[in-house]
Amino acid sequence: GAHPAPAAAAASPASTLITDIGELWTLDPALDDAPERQVLHDAALVLEGGRVAWYGPAADAPAADERVDAAGRAVLPGWVDSHSHLIFDGDRSAEFEARMAGRAYAAGGIQVTTDATRAALDASGGDRLEQLVRARIAEAVAGGTTCLETKTGYGLTLEDEARSAALAARLVADGTLDEATYLGAHLVPREFDGAHGRPGAGAYVDLAAGPMLEAVREQAGDLLRWADVFCEDGAFDVAQSRRVLRAARAAGLGLRVHGHQLARSGGVALAVELGAASVDHLNHMSAEDVDALAATAALPVREDADGRLAMDAGPTVATVLPACDLSTRAPLAPARALLDAGAVVALASNCNPGTSYTSSMSFCVATAVLQMRLSLAEAIRAATRGGALALRRADVGHLAVGARADVHLLAAPAAIHLAYRPGMPMTAAVWRRGQRLHP
Ligand code: NIG
C-alpha cells in the first residue's frame, strides 16, 4: 500500500543548538559514579548527524545551523518505552467500564481484540491496521517517547502473527518503531480449546514454538529481535512458556517475559533462569522474587556493534507498568522494594486496549513518583536508561556525546513538574535522531 514516507532527513538542519536549558538531564553513562553531574543547569546541547555532538554550559556552546531557545525549560532524553502492544484493532472500553464496576481482569479479553485484529489484517491488506498503529506511535511521540518497542500477539494464527510481524518490521525499517517482539504465546486462541475434537493448548504451544515462529522470522528477519510470552494462569504455564522461549532463543531472538501480573505464577524465576532481558508486570512478588531479580543486576553486559548490547547477557530488568496497575486496579508492582534491593528497574507504558490504554510515559513517571514512591531521578532513570537496558541498547536513554539525538523539551522549568503537575501537558518539543517530530 501507499504509506507516508518518513520526513526526509535532508529537510532537517545539519546541526541544531538547543540553548538556555534550565535543567539538562544528560544521564551520561560515563558519569554514573557522580549522578549529581548528570543534570546540568544553564546548559546547551548540540545535535548533529542524528547524534548528540556536544553538551555543556550554555556560555560555552559552539555555533550551529539552527538555534532553538529553550527559554529556561528542562530537557530530558526522550522516553524509552520498552513494552507496548500497539498492533490491534477493536474497542474494549465496555470491558474496562465493567471492570470499574467491579469485574476482575482476565486474560480472555485478548480474544476479543484478536478477533478484531484478524479482521483488520484481512481487510484491504492490513492498510487500516497500519494506519492505526502509525497514529498510536505518533501519539506516543507527541508525549515525548522516542524509542519504542511493540509486540505481535493479537493474531494468534500462523498467518496473522506473520502479518503482524511484517507490519512491525516495516515500521522498524523506516525508523518509526525501534524494537519488535513476537508474542505468539499471548493467549491460547479458541480454535485450540480442546473441545469437540479440536486441538488443545499443547498443539498451540507446538505451533507457537515451531512453524509460527519460523513464519515470523521469515517475514520480519532481523528487524524483529525479541520474543515474549504471557506466563500466567489462563495463558501459558511455566513449562509451556519455557518451551516457546527456548525455541525463540534457538532462532536467534532475545527473550522477554510477562510475569506475575495476576498471580505469582513463576514467570520471574523463568526469566532469571533463561537470562531474559526483562520480566514485566510484577504485581505479585515475594521477597525471594525481588532478590532473584536483584541478584542479576551485577551480570555484565556485552557490547555489540551499533550501540547494541548482546541480548543474552546482562541483568534481567524488572519492568513495572504503573498505568496498567491503575487501569486494572492491581496491587502496584513493588518498584521501591526492587530498587532498594538493587534490581535494575524500567518503567514502560504497556499501551494496549485491555489493561493500559495510554502511551503516556510522562503519566507513568508521575505515577511512579506519586504512588510507587520513587524519587524523581529514579523514575526518570527507569523511563530512559532502564528501558534502554531492557531493550539491550546503549544508544538511547541518555544524551552523552554520540548518543542518538532523541530529545524531550519539557513545558516546564524543571523535571519535577512531571509529578508536581500530574496530567498537565508537559511536552513542548521532541526530536528523534536529531529530527524535530513534534510539534
Ligand atoms: O500486558 N498481560 C498480557 N497482555 C497485556 C494485556 C492484553 C489484553 O488484555 O489485551 C498486558 O497487560
Domain range summary for the chain, segments of one domain joined by +: 9-77+400-438, 79-390
Which residues have CB under 6 Å of ligand 1? Answer: 85, 109-110, 113, 230, 258, 261, 324, 350, 352-355
**CATH code reported for the domain at 79-390:** 3.20.20.140
**Ligand 1 pocket mutation pick from 92, 110, 154, 329 by most atoms within 8 angstroms of CB:** 110
Residue whose CA is at the smallest distance from ligand 1 atom 12: 355
pLDDT value of position 7: 46
On whether 259 is known to bind a ligand per the annotation, the reply is no
Ligand 1 center from residue 77 Cα (angstroms): 27
Q: Is the dihedral of CA 49, 68, 360, 373 positive or negative?
A: positive
CA of 321 to the centre of ligand 1 (A): 11
Q: Rounded to an integer, what distance in angstroms lies between the CA atom of residue 116 and that of residue 200?
A: 23
Q: What is the ipTM of this complex?
A: 0.95
**Residue 8 has what pLDDT?**
45
Query: Could you give the residue ranges of the DSSP H alpha helices within 251-381?
Result: 267-274, 287-294, 322-327, 335-341, 361-370, 376-381
Q: In the chain, which stretches have pLDDT less than 50?
A: 1-10
3-state secondary structure (DSSP) of residue 74: strand
CA 277 vs CA 4, 222, 227: distances in Å? 33, 17, 10
Report the nearest atom of ligand 1 relative to the CA of 110: 10
Kindly give the distance from the C-alpha atom of residue 144 to the centroid of ligand 1, in angstroms, as a whole number.
23
Q: Is 242 annotated as a binding residue?
A: no
Q: What is the DSSP string of 317-339?
A: EEEE-HHHHHHTTPPPP-HHHHH
Identify the CA nearest to 145 among candidates 78, 63, 57, 66: 78
Atom of ligand 1 nearest to the CA of 183: 4
Nearest to 172 by CA among 88, 248, 257, 86: 86
Q: Do residues 319 and 82 make contact, with C-beta atoms less than 8 angstroms apart?
A: yes
Residue 283 labelled as part of a binding site: no
Q: How far is the CA of 378 from the centre of ligand 1 (A)?
A: 26
Cα gap 233→94, rounded to integer Å: 23
Mention the CATH class of domain 9-77+400-438. mainly beta
pLDDT at residue 377, as a whole number: 98
SS3 of the chain: helix, strand, coil, percent, to 5:
40, 25, 40
The residue whose CB lies within 8 Å of the most ligand 1 atoms, and thus the one to mutate among 186, 228, 284, 358, is 186
Task: Tell me the three cell numbers of residue 299.
Answer: 551480570
Tell me whether residue 182 is annotated as binding: no
Distance, in Å, from the CA atom of 221 to the CA atom of 404, rounded to the nearest integer, reads: 24
CB contact at 8 A, 243 and 209 = yes
Residues paired with 354 in a beta bridge: none
Question: For residue 100, how many other CB atoms are within 10 A of its CB?
Answer: 10
What is the C-alpha separation between 90 and 113, in angstroms, rounded? Answer: 6
Give the Å distance between the CA of 85 and the centre of ligand 1: 8
The residue nearest atom 1 of ligand 1, judged by CA position, is 350
- Report the candidate in 48, 45, 46, 44 with the shortest Cα–Cα distance to residue 14: 48
Q: What distance in angstroms lies between residue 185's CA and the mean position of ligand 1's atoms?
A: 12
pLDDT tens per residue, range 262-305: 999 999 999 999 999 999 999 999 999 999 999 999 999 998 77
Ligand 1 centroid to Cα of residue 110, in Å, is 7
> Which stretches of 178-284 are assigned E, i.e. beta strand?
179-185, 226-231, 254-259, 278-281
Instruction: Tell me the C-alpha to C-alpha distance, in Å, between residue 92 and each of 103, 113, 150.
Output: 14, 8, 19
